[in-house]
């Protein structure tokens, strides 16, 4: 899905068979593009018909169907919400899953790249070194935050002054843990918290409970096969004698842990220890042309160096899942992905929703019209290598290579699942300017267009807009992303880290009824 970039052209053509081209700048009536005369205003990133399209006919971008014409569309007409939809035809629109059809041998490099990571005693490798405070239930969130606040570098700098190897003390709290379904919902919450408790980027973890909640800490430890230790400590507010005493106890515990957690050093380790979570948020019409394919190129590079990348956001690959099943290493892996798609269709139906509640208003303003169009661009983040496995939300990722994890499309919930699965770094593409971070894993932000990169320069780590501008290729930007991944994993701070993002964005997936 590489665009043919002509710097003199006001539009981008992504495939010779496409029915539409993409505006590189605002087009006005009378502009001639590919032999068609534009009628009306067409914003940057939006689509223009290059020939007449009959009502009900499929419309192609990337040489893939992105929807069906709601009415006759004239050459040069703006193609968007008023004349394009997935329509009732989508139910009969069959994707050829062609399981394993595009599987190919993985090419590994002879000399893998390295980064400066932190090697834990058990062999796990971290990109950061935090102390984490987890709440078992919303009722203990205030205490967890109060403990972490006592170690904020911007307020109480003296608390961490003697511990330069500790990246910080972060409280990761949530809105559930009681009054909840004790089946699937509780299992997913416990699996998520367990993944964070085991995460390599935490040098130590303190879990704080209330004492009477559904998600009892003792039961959570048992379910996740975790054991209390010097670096995994637990206590409750009720057993501590109330809020003030619980906060004091937590602060004392953190102070006692700091010398131990500080005793780390970075050393050169292979890039195979990197596990990327792939995210896109605030997508626009350029996402599938610039940042997403460039990130996919970086993913291919990482896989060639033995690393792992996790594509997620199942509702946002809907309609493009056939591009992934073709890359599944076995039919079983492909069927696992299809099973998650069918679960989502049922999930939406029983909640009286539909999969096409995407794109969001911001996505639409940026030029995306249907979930099919958005999904085709989103899948590009996953590169071109084989799909080696499919995981449910927050399951530990135990395979190297390109994998998929079933998550919602909502970025904080999705990335929370990826980090619980082991992701030690997040790469996040945006066309509209999403604000996001993900403690304890650093998050790199990629801009899809140069206007955003200029407008929100202090939020963007790398501008991929040069691809659309004709100043850079997907391969060149992919190499820059790969180099930035290695540098960030080695300790270089991302923009979101400098801004302090990451604690409020911990959002476990809430399933089931609230009782």
**pLDDT more than 90, % of the chain:** 89
What backbone torsions phi and psi does residue 171 show, to the nearest 5 degrees? -100, 125
Dist. CA 381–CA 299, nearest whole Å: 8
Residue 363 burial by Cβ neighbours in a 10 Å radius (0-12, 13-18, 19+): buried
The string of pLDDT tens digits covering residues 399-448 is 999 999 999 999 999 999 999 999 999 999 999 998 899 999 999 999 99
Q: Say how many C-beta atoms besides its own lie within 10 A of residue 243's C-beta.
A: 13
The string of pLDDT tens digits covering residues 23-67 is 999 999 999 999 999 999 999 999 999 999 999 999 999 999 999
Dist. CA 191–CA 214, nearest whole Å: 15
Give the three-state DSSP class for 286. Answer: coil
The string of pLDDT tens digits covering residues 300-335 is 999 999 999 999 999 999 989 999 999 999 999 999
Task: Return the H-helix or E-strand segment holding 332.
Answer: helix 331-350
Query: Given pLDDT bands bounded at 50, 70 and 90, which one contains residue 2?
Result: very low
Query: Given pLDDT bands bounded at 50, 70 and 90, which one contains residue 107?
Result: very high
The string of pLDDT tens digits covering residues 285-300 is 999 999 999 999 999 9
Pairing verdict, β 125-126 and 202-209: unpaired
The string of pLDDT tens digits covering residues 215-243 is 999 999 999 999 999 999 999 999 999 99
User: Taking 90 as the threshold, does the pLDDT of residue 93 lie above it?
Assistant: no
User: pLDDT at position 356, please?
Assistant: 65
User: Taking 60 as the threshold, does the pLDDT of residue 1 lie above it?
Assistant: no
User: Taking 50 as the threshold, does the pLDDT of residue 91 lie above it?
Assistant: no
User: pLDDT at position 461, please?
Assistant: 98
Task: Give the burial string for 157-169 (b: 16+ CB within 10 Å, else e).
Answer: eebbeebeebbbb
Residues in the chain: 515
User: Taking 50 as the threshold, does the pLDDT of residue 463 lie above it?
Assistant: yes
Pairing verdict, β 114-119 and 125-126: antiparallel
Give the three-state DSSP class for 68. Answer: strand
CA distances from residue 246 to 126, 174, 196 in whole angstroms, order as listed: 30, 18, 22
User: Taking 60 as the threshold, does the pLDDT of residue 369 lie above it?
Assistant: yes
Direct distance between the N- and C-terminal alpha carbons of the chain, in angstroms, rounded to an integer: 47
Alpha helices for 175-318 (secondary structure H)? 184-197, 217-223, 237-240, 243-262, 291-304
Q: Would you say 292 and 280 are in contact if contact means Cβ atoms under 8 Å apart? A: yes
Region 130-156: what's the mean pLDDT? Answer: 93
Prediction pTM value: 0.95
Dist. CA 229–CA 392, nearest whole Å: 28
User: How does the average pLDDT of the chain come out, rounded?
Assistant: 94
Dist. CA 383–CA 193, nearest whole Å: 30
The string of pLDDT tens digits covering residues 481-507 is 999 999 999 999 999 999 999 999 999
CATH number of 117-265: 3.40.50
CATH number of 11-92: 2.30.130.110
Query: Given pLDDT bands bounded at 50, 70 and 90, which one contains residue 357?
Result: low
With a CB cutoff of 8 Å and minimum separation 6, the contacts of 493 are 442
Query: Given pLDDT bands bounded at 50, 70 and 90, which one contains residue 159?
Result: confident
Look-up of token digits 């880290």: 497
User: Taking 90 as the threshold, does the pLDDT of residue 109 lie above it?
Assistant: yes
User: Taking 60 as the threshold, does the pLDDT of residue 90 lie above it?
Assistant: no
User: pLDDT at position 92, please?
Assistant: 47
Q: Say how many C-beta atoms besides its own lie within 10 A of residue 220's C-beta.
A: 24
User: Taking 50 as the threshold, does the pLDDT of residue 180 lie above it?
Assistant: yes
- 357: tokens are 């509640």
User: pLDDT at position 12, please?
Assistant: 94
Dist. CA 308–CA 331, nearest whole Å: 21
- Angular region, 374: left φ>0, alpha ψ -120 to 50, beta rest: alpha
Dist. CA 283–CA 286, nearest whole Å: 8
Q: Would you say 84 and 67 are in contact if contact means Cβ atoms under 8 Å apart? A: yes
Query: Given pLDDT bands bounded at 50, 70 and 90, which one contains residue 351?
Result: confident
Q: Would you say 115 and 271 are in contact if contact means Cβ atoms under 8 Å apart? A: yes
């Amino acid at each position: 899905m590489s665009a043919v970039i002509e710097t003199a052209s006001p539009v981008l053509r992504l495939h010779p068979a496409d029915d539409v081209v993409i505006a590189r700048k605002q087009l006005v009536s009378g502009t001639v593009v590919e032999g068609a005369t534009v009628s009306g205003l067409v914003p940057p990133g939006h689509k223009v018909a290059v020939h007449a399209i009959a009502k009900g006919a499929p419309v192609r971008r990337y040489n893939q169907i992105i929807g069906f014409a709601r009415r006759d569309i004239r050459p040069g007409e703006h193609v968007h919400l008023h004349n394009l939809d997935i329509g009732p035809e989508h139910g009969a629109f069959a994707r050829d899953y062609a399981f394993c059809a595009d599987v190919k041998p993985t090419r590994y490099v002879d000399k893998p790249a390295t980064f400066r990571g932190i090697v834990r005693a058990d062999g796990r490798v971290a990109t950061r070194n935090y102390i984490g405070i987890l709440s078992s239930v919303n009722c203990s969130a205030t205490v967890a935050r109060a403990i972490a606040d006592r170690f904020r570098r911007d307020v109480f700098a003296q608390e961490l002054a003697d511990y330069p190897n500790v990246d910080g003390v972060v409280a990761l709290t949530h809105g559930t843990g009681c009054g909840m379904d004790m089946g699937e919902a509780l299992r997913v919450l416990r699996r998520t918290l367990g993944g964070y408790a085991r995460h390599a980027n935490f040098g130590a973890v303190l879990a704080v409970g209330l004492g009477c909640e559904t998600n009892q800490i003792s039961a959570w430890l048992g379910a996740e096969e975790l054991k209390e230790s010097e670096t995994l400590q637990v206590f409750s507010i009720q057993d501590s004698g109330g809020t003030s005493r619980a906060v004091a106890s937590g602060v004392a515990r953190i102070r006692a842990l700091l010398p131990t957690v500080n005793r780390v050093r970075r050393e050169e380790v292979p890039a195979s220890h990197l596990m990327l979570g792939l995210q896109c948020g605030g997508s626009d019409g350029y996402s599938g042309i610039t940042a997403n394919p460039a990130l996919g190129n970086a993913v291919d590079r990482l896989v060639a160096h033995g690393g792992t990348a996790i594509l997620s956001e199942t509702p946002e690959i809907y309609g493009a899942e056939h591009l992934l099943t073709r890359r599944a290493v076995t039919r079983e892996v492909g069927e696992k992905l299809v099973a998650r798609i069918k679960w989502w269709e049922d999930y939406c139906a029983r909640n009286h929703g539909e999969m096409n509640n995407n794109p969001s208003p911001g996505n639409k303003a940026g030029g995306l019209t249907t979930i099919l169009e958005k999904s085709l661009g989103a899948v590009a983040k996953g590169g071109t290598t084989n799909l080696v496995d499919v995981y449910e939300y927050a399951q530990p990722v135990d395979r190297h290579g390109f994998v998929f994890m079933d998550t919602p499309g909502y970025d904080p919930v999705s990335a929370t699942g990826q980090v619980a699965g082991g992701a030690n770094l997040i790469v996040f593409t945006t066309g509209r300017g999403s604000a996001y971070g993900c403690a304890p894993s650093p998050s790199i932000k990629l801009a899809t267009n140069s206007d955003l990169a200029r407008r929100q320069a202090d939020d963007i780590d790398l501008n991929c807009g040069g691809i659309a501008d004709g100043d850079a290729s997907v391969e060149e930007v992919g190499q820059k992303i790969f180099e930035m991944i290695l540098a960030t994993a080695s300790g270089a701070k991302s923009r979101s880290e400098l801004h302090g993002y990451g604690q409020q964005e911990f959002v476990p997936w809430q399933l089931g009824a609230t009782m």
